[in-house]
């Protein structure tokens, strides 16, 4: 009889404890996100694939196609091509893509970029049926962002003033 009462009380206590947990969570704010109908707010430090940073001055990218990132990338997944800007000695990237299926998100490409042209995106909804689908056209992505922001799709840098030559000539005359 004693064992029967003890078992009943233990069962009743378990029931109350379980109900307590249910009631506690019933009144707490809901944290479940109804994905894909709702989007997640990613942490500012979240690392999605790399993408171009939009320069607030030009409304475009800062990549000069130096290929530092491509040479540094341990996975060799970056492909960048550039063209010379007419009237200057500068180059400007015209294509930039990464094979995200092999990217380790190490961040070396972001670190070595001399113009701080790259950043990590907050993209978390990537899916594909083949590895080819994971090749991300960063330039196309930039253009889509520019369209969404109402910016012109490409703003080439202003041609450099040819200022160095007269100075060099003047210093040569002073020496002779």
Binding site for ligand SF4 (CB under 6 A): 50, 63-69, 73-75, 77-78, 80, 93, 98, 103-109, 112-113, 115, 117-118
Q: Which contiguous run of DSSP H or E holds residue 95?
A: strand 91-99
For residue 94, the minimal CB distance to ligand SF4 (Å) is 11
* CA distance between the termini of the chain: 119
Cβ-in-10-Å burial (0-12, 13-18, 19+) of 25 comes to exposed
Residues in the chain, total:
176
Q: Are 96 and 63 in contact (CB under 8 A)?
A: yes
Give the nearer residue to ligand SF4 in terms of CB position, either 59 or 97: 97
For residue 93, the minimal CB distance to ligand SF4 (Å) is 6
Give the nearer residue to ligand SF4 in terms of CB position, either 33 or 114: 114
Give the nearer residue to ligand SF4 in terms of CB position, either 33 or 106: 106
Rounded to whole angstroms, how far apart are CA atoms 125 and 118?
Answer: 20
For residue 66, the minimal CB distance to ligand SF4 (Å) is 4
For residue 120, the minimal CB distance to ligand SF4 (Å) is 8
């Amino acid at each position: 009889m004693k064992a029967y009462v003890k078992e009943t009380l233990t069962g009743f206590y378990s029931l109350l404890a379980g109900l307590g947990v249910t009631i506690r969570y019933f009144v707490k704010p809901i944290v479940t996100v109804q994905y894909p109908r709702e989007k997640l707010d990613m942490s500012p430090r979240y690392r999605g694939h790399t993408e171009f940073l939009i320069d607030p001055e030009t409304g475009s990218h800062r990549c000069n196609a130096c290929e530092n990132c491509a040479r540094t990338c341990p996975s060799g997944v970056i492909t960048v091509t550039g063209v010379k800007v007419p009237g200057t000695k500068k180059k400007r990237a015209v294509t930039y893509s990464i094979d995200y299926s092999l990217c380790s998100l190490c961040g070396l490409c972001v670190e070595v970029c001399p113009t701080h042209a790259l950043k990590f995106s907050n993209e978390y909804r990537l899916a594909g049926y083949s590895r080819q689908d994971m090749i991300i056209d960063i330039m196309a992505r930039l253009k889509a962002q520019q369209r969404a922001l109402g910016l012109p799709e490409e703003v080439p840098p202003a041609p450099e003033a040819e200022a160095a030559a007269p100075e060099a000539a003047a210093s040569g005359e002073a020496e002779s």
